[in-house]
Structure 1
Amino acid sequence: MFEARFQTFDDASEGALCAGRVAALRADLKRRGLTGLLMPRADRQQNEYLPASEERLAWLTGFTGSAGAAIVLADKAALFVDGRYTLQVQSQTDTAVFTIEHLVDNPPPVWLEQNIKAGDRIGYDPWLHTADNAERFARACAKAGAALVPLDDNPIDALWADRPAPPSAAVTLRPLTLAGESTSDKLARIKDELTKLRVDALIVSDPQNVDWTFNIRGSDVAHTPLALGFAAIPRDGRPRLYVDPGKLSNEVRHALEEHADVHATDDLARDLAGYKGQSVLLDQGSAADALTRIVSDHGGQPTRTADPITLMKAVKNNAEIAGTRAAHLRDGAAMTRFLCWLDHEMPSGKLTEIDAVKALESFRRDTGLLKDVSFPSISGAGPNGAIVHYRVTSATNRVIGKDEMFLIDSGAQYEDGTTDITRTVINGVPTDDMRDRFTRVLKGHIAIAEAVFPMGTTGAQLDPLARVALWQAGIDFDHGTGHGVGSYLSVHEGPARISKLGHVPLKRGMILSNEPGYYKTGAYGIRIENLVLVIAAPSPDGAEKPLNAFETLSFAPIDRRLIDPRLLTAQELHWLNNYHARVREAVTPLVDPATQSWLEQATRPL
């Protein structure tokens, strides 16, 4: 019926090979005079999604989750995952080889300190750790009387016989009509920031920031249109862009050379030696420890702090905002067609989680403008919906049962914008408990959508608004309420977020998600997610500060059958009915007659 293009559903685990690979690694470590190795899931730029050639943790352990780390010692090994992956890791990893530890509750440095002894030598690849992370491990080793040893090469690379080739996709230029600001203007702004920060140069290690600065995109990693590379931007002088030259056509190279000297990626380490006596800014979150070491070893003065480009990129310009509005309207039509289809197919008792993912992707492909999904869809029926970052596989695929809730969290990459939306629906008749919990999540969603807040307000200050209705029932959710979203870049973008840890002030032009939820283990999950844009709010008479608000960007019905109107205030009902009227007006001209008829019913006023 539907053909998946961007997603696969096989478990792809190699856990059965763990024992042999760990034994080979231990033999190699012994030859090197090492008693252990740290192995995070990371590449040289700390990307969320990795090229296949960088999936060392998956090769070693079989675990394919998006976050994790392993420590292999001579007599024991541990694999660290967070709460999202406690079920997945058990099915993918040989637990006779690796003990499973919690990444947050028992972090790797703590475990390491407790499991090594004086005289041990623990190796690590300085390209796969930030300097802060390496320092935490170094302190743990020192407390135990052991040593942390930086390695010139990664031991796994020599053992990984069938390692995939590095990505080689072509770099493309982003049109000014979509980028909204020229590379020369961006570079001028960046250099002004370096002057204010009193540093001589910035090493740009986050490829999102590199691509934004030079108005380029690529396809080196799944789901995020990244061209992997680095840049060096001096306060005075000509920047350097480091990228695989094989990815550049003559046209692209010529365009880039108008703004920077273009070098091969391997030249970066050599050139860093030239910063003797200069202050060099390195991004605290993405710069590898190797960069700090090279600058320091050659007499430079590394300053580890936030890359100023990250905040610049987060504040979208008029062209980017217009693009994301167009993308969300297009995506809303695809999502509405999917929800109509889902409503007709679920009662058959045959529809599975994978069927739903394939169908939604097909509706998005029908737009003719889909470049990729923005992340692997979270498609959870019944109890699977209660697993916050559940990823359906052929082994876990489940039929959407009668009177069950179904949660689907998905997004798309279009050239004019990135989307992310979650809807939770009922297949049949909801229980009173379901309706109560769903309505409380909706109240939190509305509270964020309607928030008006002074300039300078942070996401941490807004986060409680999404939780009050849940707290009143003695319940909560354990993830953040919202994350930043890029402009045809990563669906997860810093520095702003709506969460307990969101300490960056929200600025006009930022795009964030609004996604409170509730998860009843073994029963169901609920999440309602739209993307929102920070905009100026009207200032009432006597206002002493400029005010901001949110514009909701996403267009798709919210399941009325799961709402208990008695729990909504008059203002909340007004918001819901007004939102549904906007969806109906915007989406109706973009969908077929059958979907139009369904949409009319799905958006009736409560």
Structure 2
Amino acid sequence: MFQEFTATSSPEQGPPRVAALREEMAADGLSAFLVPRADVHQGEYVAPHDERLAWLTGFTGSAGFAAVLTDRVGLFVDGRYTLQARTQVATDLITPVAWPATRLGPWLAEALEDGAEVGFDPWLHTVREIEDLRATLALKGIELVETMNLVDRIWADQPAPPAAPIQPYPVTLAGRFSSEKRAEAAEDLRKAGETALILTLPDSIAWLLNIRGADIAHTPVAHAFCILYDTGRAELFVDPAKAEGLRDHLGDEVALCPADEFPEALGHLEGPVRLDRDSVPYEVARRLEEAAIDISWAGDPCILRKACKTPAEIAATRAAHLRDGAAVCRFLHWLETQAEGLTRSETRPTEIDVVRALEGFRAETGELKEISFDTISGAGPNGAIVHYRVTEDSNRPLSRGELMLVDSGAQYLDGTTDITRTIAIGQPSAEARACFTRVLKGMIAMSRAVWPAGLAGRDLDALARMPLWMAGQDYDHGTGHGVGVYLGVHEGPQRLSRISEVPLRPGMILSNEPGYYREGSFGIRIENLLVVETADLPGADAGRDFLRFSTLTYAPIDRRLINAAMLSGGERDWLNAYHAEVAAKLADRVEGDAAAWLARATAPI
């Protein structure tokens, strides 16, 4: 099993650890200390060595940060984690704060006296974070102070840093040689008059050098730093033990250097050196400034290129999704069989049983490398916790009349998958069917969208929300995120979100996952992955380009939860056509009872 079910934290751990941290703050004369979720590489997922926020507070979500003051602790989380934070931390000591509605700078300015000092680890915060925070706090004379990590001082049994081996990634799947990617990025540097680029994001480095790793769970990247020069030559700073066997793959134009030499190497560069304010650690910029090396502030050139997949990557990920779709189909048949037997059995399957079964079907493909994130397996009210992670303590049996939300994904060498299905356990209520159908209408609207090139995710986000809005309902997460190809299941810069300003481009892969959550009752989410492609529209205005989505995910949507009377003719046609395609693509990939179930599950409505 890739997924574990032990509770890795508890509310009780917070008070003594916060008390110990406050002793260190007092010793350093600090009024506050910042504890981010992020590691030095600013990835969404972190290795056990870097789980400082979880260790200190008990909160295990993948986004958030804490500000520890002498008289209070603020845990800043967004709407996905509101319910989770309340259950995981000692709320009499640690107060969940709604972020980004409440910003850290104003919150600190109100809570601290003039002249207070706020400590932070300069390796764990980006330049933009510190610049924005410093500007706000300076208005009240509050100073940000760089310090050693105070959590590391008190974390006696902190795990060792990860040391998994790095593997070459085949060009047949990547679609482009690393030398081509490096030459293209180097040309960007020359045009901008820059001599070098600092890369600290593991997925950018993995993409640029066609490598993959296993330093963190669920995402096949390696912890490393990279300096790319305007000649196309690069230096990869990494633990030598992790890079054995990479020499031939990297070639003569990529030098392997020990990771601990990276800080010193910064001082020997000749400027201007390109840094990305949104991803590079503050300490990197500080060291360059200390050495009087000119900095050029510009975006990481790998991010957008990585987001626009090559034809080889799209073909590969389509194959991965068909393999995954067959596994999910077998799982859905299994789950329905389990649900039908609830009244005849004294032993009811649980959320953990669901996770194990789904991972087992994926493993039986013989191609599963990892899951792409911990499966969200939420029965009944647990489904209303957007990023719920089942543990042995929270494990809930399936019950008739409830909804089951299963959000899961897999990492295959040829692609990364992410799919959510909400399933009726027994007969659903009319209210649950109505809510589900509104979510489905939004999901269909996004799937059918056609739009003029140049629009961003924020321009499309409302399409998925409109059916819910008309009923006075909504959801507190984005409609979709970018997805990599055997890389991160959450990938930027593309998003379907109210705040996304990045224009969508052909080759971008995004999730389409509207939802609805009723606390204490149920959660609903339906998710497919989509890829952006050009739309050939007969009669389109000359000189005006249009884009559309093509579906990657194929698995039945629970027809028992659909109120067909609420669907328009176009929505019904889309659903029937989608299910017909599911049946056609998966029929030869499932057998026996599962094949018969697939035929029933994809019948037209």
Same topology, TM > 0.5: yes
- Are the equivalent residues in 2 in contact too, given 1:205–1:283 (CA < 8 A)? no
Counterpart of 2:345?
Answer: none
Q: Verify: 1:345 aligned to 2:338, yes or no.
A: yes
Instruction: Pick the aligned partner of 1:463 from 439, 461, 464.
Output: 461
Of residues 101-110 and 568-577 in structure 1, the stretch that sits farther from structure 2 once superposed is 101-110
- Are the equivalent residues in 2 in contact too, given 1:404–1:427 (CA < 8 A)? yes
Q: Verify: 1:389 aligned to 2:387, yes or no.
A: yes
Counterpart of 2:246?
Answer: 252
- Sort the Cα spacing of 1:576 and 1:414 in 2 relative to 1 into closer, same or farther, 3 A: same
Q: May I ask how many residue pairs the two structures share in their alignment?
A: 599
Question: 2:76 & 2:476 partners in 1: Cα distance?
Answer: 19
- Sort the Cα spacing of 1:72 and 1:603 in 2 relative to 1 into closer, same or farther, 3 A: same
Instruction: Pick the aligned partner of 2:213 from 212, 215, 218.
Output: 218
Question: 1:27 & 1:437 partners in 2: Cα distance?
Answer: 50
Counterpart of 2:362?
Answer: 364
Cα distance, 1:184 vs structure 2:
0.4
Counterpart of 1:275?
Answer: 269
| Partner secondary structure for residue 226 of structure 1 | coil
- Are the equivalent residues in 2 in contact too, given 1:485–1:491 (CA < 8 A)? yes
| Partner secondary structure for residue 392 of structure 1 | coil
Question: 2:456 & 2:532 partners in 1: Cα distance?
Answer: 12
Question: 1:428 & 1:27 partners in 2: Cα distance?
Answer: 55
Q: Verify: 1:108 aligned to 2:104, yes or no.
A: yes
Cα distance, 1:588 vs structure 2:
1.2
Counterpart of 2:121?
Answer: 125
- Sort the Cα spacing of 1:517 and 1:86 in 2 relative to 1 into closer, same or farther, 3 A: closer
Of residues 85-94 and 472-481 in structure 1, the stretch that sits farther from structure 2 once superposed is 85-94
- Sort the Cα spacing of 1:25 and 1:309 in 2 relative to 1 into closer, same or farther, 3 A: same
- Are the equivalent residues in 1 in contact too, given 2:80–2:476 (CA < 8 A)? no
Cα distance, 1:550 vs structure 2:
1.2
Question: 1:39 & 1:450 partners in 2: Cα distance?
Answer: 42
Counterpart of 2:560?
Answer: 561
Question: C-alpha deviations, 1:74-125, integer Å up to 9, x for none?
Answer: 3433332333333333443233433332332333222211121133222110
Question: 2:232 & 2:400 partners in 1: Cα distance?
Answer: 66
The aligned amino acid for 1:225 is: P
Question: 2:455 & 2:82 partners in 1: Cα distance?
Answer: 35
Counterpart of 1:235?
Answer: 230
Question: C-alpha deviations, 1:172-215, integer Å up to 9, x for none?
Answer: 00011111110101111111222344433211111100010000
Counterpart of 1:486?
Answer: 484
Question: 1:469 & 1:56 partners in 2: Cα distance?
Answer: 41
Cα distance, 1:347 vs structure 2:
3.2
Cα distance, 1:14 vs structure 2:
4.7
Cα distance, 1:237 vs structure 2:
5.7
Cα distance, 1:509 vs structure 2:
0.9
- Are the equivalent residues in 1 in contact too, given 2:127–2:278 (CA < 8 A)? no
Cα distance, 1:24 vs structure 2:
2.5
| Partner secondary structure for residue 123 of structure 2 | coil
Counterpart of 1:552?
Answer: 551
Instruction: Pick the aligned partner of 1:299 from 292, 299, 322.
Output: 292
Q: Which structure 2 residue ranges, 5 or more long, are not aligned?
A: 343-347
Question: 1:450 & 1:201 partners in 2: Cα distance?
Answer: 43
Of residues 458-467 and 8-17 in structure 1, the stretch that sits farther from structure 2 once superposed is 8-17
Counterpart of 2:75?
Answer: 79
Cα distance, 1:260 vs structure 2:
1.2
After superposition, the CA RMSD in angstroms is 1.7
| Partner secondary structure for residue 540 of structure 1 | coil
Instruction: Pick the aligned partner of 1:328 from 306, 321, 334.
Output: 321
Cα distance, 1:73 vs structure 2:
2.5
- Sort the Cα spacing of 1:576 and 1:87 in 2 relative to 1 into closer, same or farther, 3 A: closer
Of residues 424-433 and 203-212 in structure 1, the stretch that sits farther from structure 2 once superposed is 424-433
- Are the equivalent residues in 2 in contact too, given 1:275–1:298 (CA < 8 A)? no
- Are the equivalent residues in 2 in contact too, given 1:14–1:59 (CA < 8 A)? no
Question: 1:542 & 1:331 partners in 2: Cα distance?
Answer: 36
Question: C-alpha deviations, 1:326-369, integer Å up to 9, x for none?
Answer: 10000000000000000010233312211111110111011011
| Partner secondary structure for residue 488 of structure 1 | coil
| Partner secondary structure for residue 379 of structure 1 | strand
Question: 1:121 & 1:393 partners in 2: Cα distance?
Answer: 39
- Sort the Cα spacing of 1:96 and 1:519 in 2 relative to 1 into closer, same or farther, 3 A: closer
Alignment of 1:156-167 (within 5 A): 156-167=151-162
Cα distance, 1:303 vs structure 2:
3.1
- Are the equivalent residues in 2 in contact too, given 1:183–1:259 (CA < 8 A)? no
- Sort the Cα spacing of 1:519 and 1:22 in 2 relative to 1 into closer, same or farther, 3 A: closer
Counterpart of 1:41?
Answer: 37
Q: Verify: 1:261 aligned to 2:276, yes or no.
A: no
Counterpart of 2:279?
Answer: 286
Counterpart of 2:173?
Answer: 178
The two structures have a TM-score, normalised by structure 1, of: 0.95
Counterpart of 1:576?
Answer: 575
- Are the equivalent residues in 1 in contact too, given 2:368–2:411 (CA < 8 A)? yes
Question: C-alpha deviations, 1:383-414, integer Å up to 9, x for none?
Answer: 22122222222222212221111111100000
Cα distance, 1:61 vs structure 2:
1.8
- Are the equivalent residues in 2 in contact too, given 1:455–1:546 (CA < 8 A)? yes
Counterpart of 1:605?
Answer: 604
Alignment of 1:511-522 (within 5 A): 511-522=509-520
The aligned amino acid for 2:213 is: G
- Are the equivalent residues in 2 in contact too, given 1:116–1:144 (CA < 8 A)? no
| Partner secondary structure for residue 424 of structure 2 | strand
Question: 1:598 & 1:102 partners in 2: Cα distance?
Answer: 44
Counterpart of 2:449?
Answer: 451
Question: C-alpha deviations, 1:483-534, integer Å up to 9, x for none?
Answer: 1100100000001111111211111111111111122222211111100111
Cα distance, 1:155 vs structure 2:
2.1
| Partner secondary structure for residue 266 of structure 1 | helix
| Partner secondary structure for residue 219 of structure 2 | coil
The aligned amino acid for 2:119 is: G
Question: C-alpha deviations, 1:124-165, integer Å up to 9, x for none?
Answer: 1010001111123323432332321112x2122222111111
Of residues 77-86 and 262-271 in structure 1, the stretch that sits farther from structure 2 once superposed is 77-86
Counterpart of 1:502?
Answer: 500
Instruction: Pick the aligned partner of 1:134 from 126, 130, 133.
Output: 130
- Are the equivalent residues in 1 in contact too, given 2:127–2:285 (CA < 8 A)? yes
Counterpart of 1:57?
Answer: 53
Of residues 596-605 and 543-552 in structure 1, the stretch that sits farther from structure 2 once superposed is 543-552
The aligned amino acid for 1:243 is: V
Question: 2:13 & 2:561 partners in 1: Cα distance?
Answer: 46
- Sort the Cα spacing of 1:273 and 1:71 in 2 relative to 1 into closer, same or farther, 3 A: same
Question: C-alpha deviations, 1:43-69, integer Å up to 9, x for none?
Answer: 001111101101111222222221222
Cα distance, 1:257 vs structure 2:
4.2
- Are the equivalent residues in 2 in contact too, given 1:84–1:390 (CA < 8 A)? no
